[in-house]
A and B are shown apart, each in its own frame.
Chain A
Amino acid sequence: MTEVPHLSLHVPEPAVRPGGEPDFSNVKIAKAGSVPRPPVDAAPEDIRDLAYSIIRVLNRDGEAVGPWAGLLSDEELLTGLRSMMKLRAFDARMLMAQRQGKTSFYMQHLGEEAVASAFRKALQKGDMNFPTYRQAGLLIADDYPMVEMMNQIYSNEADPLRGRQLPIMYSSKAHGFFTISGNLATQYVQAVGWAMASAIKKDTKIAAAWIGDGSTAESDFHSALVFASTYKAPVILNIVNNQWAISTFQGIARGGSGTFAARGLGFGIPALRVDGNDYLAVYAVAKWAAERARRNLGPTLIEYVTYRVGAHSTSDDPSAYRPKTESEAWPLGDPVLRLKKHLIVRGVWSEERHTQAEAEILDEVIQAQKQAESHGTLHAGGKPSVRDIFEGVYAEMPAHIRRQRQKAGY
């Protein structure tokens, strides 16, 4: 009998835990401008490298370089900067409102503002996003009224969702934003279905699916890839890799090798990895994928490499599982500061104008907040009616729910 060694289970661990020195040496950063831009009808097998590199446009000096640069005008970039600043200011005010007890829960985007903000600009009116809870940038960048978002967050009398949904689980068909579920990954395959419907109806609209690194482990992620590749659905499959799924580092979903983008390759889906903190790169890659979808060339998988600077939600404390200074060590920097720097290098922006814009945006957010609070907050002022509990479960209220509503006194 030969001695066979005992087996042992491998449980991945992040490079560092609280108390340690942040270490991102495992995140291989490609040089800005170094990754080629293939034609949108390139065969997936010819562009496999794009799933392992990182497409970047902005270099360290704030210049836009390489084949993915040059798509956005000064005006469009200034609008993009304002969107990201607005989202950041909105988050800060709503976090504070949550701490003041004006709502139960909030989720911020700090560090990830470029992803949804830039992506939205690559879509057209009528296209549909199937977002997770961290894509409010899609709404802000599409000029959805902040006051409506706040009404929803406060679950007040003007809440468009009548107090039924957890804060930030917005819905707006008019703004191409599918109702957020709150459970994970279900929306990913729904987006594929929406895109299939667009093709079945011979429409021109495309869909975008959103998921986080952690939730790519869900079955529905894989279901979505199966359906998207089988039917060549006009859908952009977005993975926002912000390194952390609450307290779980991305290695638990991914294992030690490969990338999230590379998940697409086995399905024959072109897969690209992009610097998620680079507004220009995000836009350029999203535009490439949108064109592919619109030209009926099928789905594209995009991994946005970014970092969740804040806590997962107001119910989370990241200092319990990662070094406090980790976000400062993140090698891809801050998306707002990087675009700001680029606009200054372009000669269309300045520190003074930036400071002034910050003040204007804060004022705009505060005005919206005042208006929203005039309709109430979670525990004070105007509330949705108890009747609203019973309405809208079905198109027509069935007898048993009517009896229950009457029992509740309404």
Chain B
Amino acid sequence: MARMTMIEAVRSAMDVSMGRDEDVVVFGEDVGYFGGVFRATQGLQAKYGKTRCFDAPINESGILGTAIGMAAHGLKPCVEIQFADYMYPAYDQITQEAARIRYRSNGDFTCPIVVRMPTGGGIFGGQTHSQSPEALFTHVCGLKVVVPSNPYDAKGLLIAAIEDPDPVMFLEPKRLYNGPFDGHHEKPVTPWSRHDLGEVPEGHYTIPIGKAEIRRSGGAVTVVAYGTMVHVALAAAEETGIDAEVIDLRSLLPLDLDTIVQSVKKTGRCVVVHEATLTSGFGAEVVSLVQEHCFYSLEAPVVRVTGWDTPYPHAQEWDYFPGPARVGRALKEVMEG
């Protein structure tokens, strides 16, 4: 075991995968010599050579398109989109190509690729470095969508994603790279080195895609969250003293519906939290499923706490970000309902 930040865990996952399987290749903008703007691929080119870890032109559609072609030739590309906000030029390749190649060719061709992208806000990145586009992927059949919340999961899920036979969108909450950010931006973040989930095995292990994890057991209300919001929800539960059960989805597609349903049937209350905008966000899907499967167990309307339906602002970042105070208010509202 070693102490790792989330970036180190992500890098270790690629390192382990490249070491085990020479078909794994890593590329993206600034990814090669420099090691990526967040340093996720630092050292990989030196270790595995220029043909297995290299810089790509600033062309996201080209990065995805070439990755798809490489996968058709038997490689397992793990590509980086520098910010999730930059993935739109590649959206055609992701939705109409990567996601459907297995289906439309009846398995004649497949697309085992991983698309890593730093996601979410909290770093004063403004509207083009803060977005959470996960719902644009969960709406696409044929993709898997993973959002880890800690170093241990990040490594195990990323190795699982690289080994997965289908395309996986791997969204890394960049505010979590250095520590379990709980929304208290005025305080320094606790480093991962002082957190249990910063303990990461150095070798190979996987975490199955499609399995949620209960981060805090409770009987009063279920909080469904993923990524950064897991830590915000945990903080809100502690600060309000409400006996909340916090579910970390880890994988949005496939979704671990059983864990959600079991919890909501027990608590009778549910709050869904994400950083992405409200309307047609992934929370809408979770709320629908909860009412379909748990309607007769519900004691109160299900509530969503999300980013506002506006572009991500710069100066007003902390009024936009759904921090522990807003989540706490939602918990109280649901308890009173």
Contact = CB atoms under 8 A, between A and B. Distances in A.
Interface string A164-203: 1100010111000011010100101111111111111101
Contact of B97 (A186, A207, A219): A186
B96 A186 contact: yes
B165 A395 contact: yes
B59 A164 contact: no
A372 interface: no
A201 B75 contact: yes
Interface string B72-100: 11110000000000000100110011000
A203 B23 CA distance: 13
Contacts of B23: 201
Contacts of A201: 23, 73-75
Contact of A130 (B69, B107, B165, B210): B69
Contacts of B108: 160, 171-173, 179
A372 B68 CA distance: 32
Contact of A200 (B51, B59, B105, B165): B51
Interface residues of A, number: 48
B109 A219 contact: no
A119 B68 CA distance: 24
Contacts of A79: none
A226 interface: yes
Nearest to A225: B62
Contacts of A128: 72-73
Interface in B154-171: 165-166
Contact of A164 (B104, B110, B254): B104
Contacts, number: 145
B142 interface: yes
By size class, the interface of chain B is 35 or more
Given A173-B108, A186-B96, A227-B62, A196 B70 contact: yes
Contact of A394 (B52, B102, B104, B106): B102
B286 to A, nearest CB: 13
A223 interface: yes
- Residue from B52, B70, B107, B109 with most neighbouring chain A CB atoms (10 Å): B70
Given A130-B69, A395-B165, A398-B254, A226 B105 contact: no
B61 A220 contact: yes
Contact of A161 (B93, B96, B106): B106
A324 to B, nearest CB: 35
A107 interface: no
B25 A224 contact: no
A189 B62 contact: yes
Given A189-B61, A197-B70, 15 more contacts: A165-B104, A173-B105, A183-B96, A189-B65, A189-B69, A190-B69, A192-B69, A194-B73, A197-B75, A200-B51, A200-B52, A201-B74, A220-B62, A393-B141, A398-B253
